């Protein structure tokens, strides 16, 4: 498959695809875990890095290939190949970022992503111009598409299983293998057929770029991907010891919060309406999943986040869609255990692991296999401190 290819550029192409995948997936993971950030902006950034990673890998691979002399790249097909890539990546990420990641949804996204990667490749390949014609082995074309779909599915599954740590690295590597495997499988089935003088292609008024110009463009994009990767490694929050004044002292961070939250809190106004008895807190919450509606114990809930007319329930591992509105969730949950700390967020007080000041408000870290952060509005800080037993704390 790699006969005649530059091995260093081949290795670089795989690395670039993996770095682009890691950066894009890391941004997508922060959509659900970073309070106060626009999902659309984060999703667009994730799709952009993934698309640039795919496109750059493709052309690094082309620079590594033994192309015929006098080969140039037509600018218009090259740009179209990138736009195709950006479009399908954005749609695929959107599908897996909303609702429950069911088998059907993830498989559909993988098929779209695999076919999109293949489309980008073949459109970009036919942007090559020179004294030759390009022929493809149809079976290798089908195999390259299959490789892209299967490995894209594996990458998405690894990403959705756990959106940080080792699993995120695995999903990025799988993404790099998906793109690179598809590219080099397709290249194995591609053949250049020399043309006679009468059959020589004429560029006419088509805008073309030499391999030297493409090398410069690719080098710049490689730098952008590497910079984005390094920035994605920078923690998006301060260390737990960097706790600001007026919220909690460093010594209090180490105290188990659950000990201060076991005493029942007086019930608020009756939930059943005027003249009606209070509504009993529900022990379980409905969440949408594969095959229908599932139920999770309220004791396992870490937070509830408003999402349009619905909510997303975090169980310490991931978020799942709940058909309740944020107001209905507040009315249904036990007020001695849950507190609405923001107009869009409810938290389970026994699961609060850390609190710190941020801007005019504060943020809470909730425990679990995948800890996440929830914002606290300025008006709720005093109540949160009281519920955590910190109202009378003073700095040493």
Distance CA 247, CA 245 (A): 6
Mean pLDDT of the chain: 74
Distance CA 77, CA 83 (A): 10
- 86-100, 333-347, 351-365, 373-387, range with the lowest pLDDT: 86-100
Distance CA 66, CA 187 (A): 11
The upper half-sphere exposure of residue 190, i.e. CA atoms within 13 Å in the direction of its Cβ, equals 24
pLDDT at 164: 55
- Per-residue pLDDT band for 304 (boundaries 50, 70, 90) equals very high
pLDDT at 270: 47
Distance CA 92, CA 51 (A): 11
- Which of residues 172 and 214 earns the better pLDDT score? 172
What percent of the chain has a predicted confidence (pLDDT) above 70?
72
Domains and CATH numbers, the chain: 7-232 (no CATH), 250-387 (2.40.50.1020)
63, pLDDT greater than 50: yes
267, pLDDT greater than 60: no
- Which of residues 165 and 175 earns the better pLDDT score? 175
Distance CA 114, CA 37 (A): 29
């Amino acid at each position: 498959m790699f006969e005649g290819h530059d091995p260093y550029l081949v290795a670089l192409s795989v690395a670039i695809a993996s770095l682009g995948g890691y950066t894009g997936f890391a941004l997508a993971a922060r959509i659900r875990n970073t309070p106060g950030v626009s999902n659309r902006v984060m999703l667009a950034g994730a799709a952009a890095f993934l698309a640039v990673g795919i496109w750059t890998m493709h052309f690094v691979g082309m620079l590594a290939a033994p192309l015929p002399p006098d080969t140039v790249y037509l600018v218009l097909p090259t740009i179209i190949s990138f736009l195709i890539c950006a479009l399908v990546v954005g749609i695929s990420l959107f599908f897996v970022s909303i609702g429950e990641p069911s088998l059907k949804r993830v498989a559909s996204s993988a098929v779209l992503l695999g076919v999109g990667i293949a489309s980008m490749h073949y459109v970009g390949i036919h942007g090559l111009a020179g004294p030759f014609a390009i022929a493809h082995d149809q079976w290798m074309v089908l195999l390259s598409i299959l490789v892209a779909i299967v490995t894209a599915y594996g990458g998405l599954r690894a990403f959705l299983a756990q959106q940080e740590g080792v699993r995120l690295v695995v999903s990025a590597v799988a993404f790099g293998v998906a793109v690179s495997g598809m590219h080099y499988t397709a290249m194995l089935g591609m053949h250049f057929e020399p043309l006679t003088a009468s059959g020589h292609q004429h560029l006419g008024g088509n805008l073309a770029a030499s391999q030297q110009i493409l090398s410069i463009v690719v080098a710049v994009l490689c730098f952008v991907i590497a910079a984005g990767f390094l920035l994605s490694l920078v923690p998006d929050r301060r260390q737990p010891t960097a706790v600001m004044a007026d919220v909690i002292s460093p010594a209090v961070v180490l105290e188990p919060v659950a000990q201060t939250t076991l005493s029942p809190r007086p019930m608020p106004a009756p939930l059943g309406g005027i003249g009606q008895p209070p509504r009993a807190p529900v022990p379980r919450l409905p969440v949408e999943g594969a095959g229908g509606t599932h139920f999770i114990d309220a004791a396992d809930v870490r937070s509830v986040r408003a999402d349009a007319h619905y909510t997303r329930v975090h169980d310490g591992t991931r978020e799942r869609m709940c058909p309740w509105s944020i107001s209905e969730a507040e009315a249904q949950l036990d007020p001695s255990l849950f507190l609405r700390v923001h107009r869009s967020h409810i938290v389970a007080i026994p699961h609060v692991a850390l609190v710190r000041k941020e801007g005019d408000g504060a943020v809470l870290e909730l425990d679990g296999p995948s800890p996440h952060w929830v914002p606290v509005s300025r008006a709720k800080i005093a109540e949160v401190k009281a519920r955590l037993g910190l109202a009378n704390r003073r700095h040493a």
